[in-house]
Structure 1
């Protein structure tokens, strides 16, 4: 909201212009505060609303907010990708593949596959051996 300042005006016209400007600023400030796109931490915001607000900022949608710079958009992307990865891992809904440091008896690299609700399995990229939780199933 605009602040009221004690000022001396050289004419009534200047005082009227200043008063009208403060009224215009107050109307704009009230409209800005009432805008649902404005972020307010009131203890009731949830992760979904926060994510949607950040998405609007990254997509540079108009709103009562200062546009973000490219570095901020990049940082938001990195944090969002990390959060999505942790959620997928916790819920076991994302496919994961890792190459183990341990090598197969033939000297080939062992790739682990898992996630998406399936039991983990490993296979040798060189000889084709496949391991599961139950042990070696194919050689």
Structure 2
């Protein structure tokens, strides 16, 4: 999808559209179980939003500069780090289904990376996708 973003569109514009389009869906999901937020809760929401925007900005910039197959392993490896953060920070021990899911997502990429050795030439994108 990032390849469809015009190359001259500023990153902040892409992030703005992402937020504006996702807020109504998040609001629909939150209405049913809404509870008033404390000020510390507002702080956590703001911190989470800033980190999320930082991640999205980095991901969009990376996908604009490289092919998705070159970025996927790094992005999906985040599952491992999030799981470790859950274990260390929240004492949440993942069940076998979680570990199996992580293995099913990351395993094939590791095997493919090992078998291919060096990166192959990426064929050119169709004309309607080029930046």
Give the alignment's TM-score, normalised by structure 1. Answer: 0.35
> In proportion to residue count, which structure has more helix?
2
Task: Name the one with the larger strand percent.
Answer: 1
TM-score, with length taken from structure 2 = 0.37
Which gives a bigger RCO, structure 1 or 2 (Cα 8 Å, sep 6+)?
2
